[in-house]
Amino acid sequence: MKKFKIPSIPPTTNKCIRFPNDIIENVEEAIKGKNCTFTAFVVEAVKVALENLEETE
């Protein structure tokens, strides 16, 4: 089991990226009614994608 550590907020940089409209709609639908922002969803998705890439290499 992974040990819990109190998270610190990492420094951030603003990036402007374009998403296809259907992906925006799907993400917004997925987070509706949840305590999650579009940005938080995308950051978590990218983290998981990067971990998956490391596992397959």
Whether residue 10 lies inside any domain: the answer is: no
- Within 8 A by CB and 6+ apart from 38, the residues are 24, 27, 28, 31
What pLDDT score was predicted for residue 57? Answer: 76
Confidence of residue 30 (pLDDT cuts 50, 70, 90): very high
Whether residue 15 lies inside any domain: the answer is: no
Q: Which of 56, 55, 31 minimizes the C-alpha distance to 43?
A: 31
Structural domain range at position 41: 21-56
- Within 8 A by CB and 6+ apart from 48, the residues are none
In this model, does residue 17 exceed pLDDT 90? yes
CB 32 within 8 A of CB 39: no
Whether residue 7 lies inside any domain: the answer is: no
**Tally of domains within the chain:** 1
Whether residue 6 lies inside any domain: the answer is: no
What radius of gyration, in Å, describes the C-alpha atoms of the chain?
A: 14
Whether residue 28 lies inside any domain: the answer is: yes
In this model, does residue 6 exceed pLDDT 90? no
In this model, does residue 8 exceed pLDDT 90? no
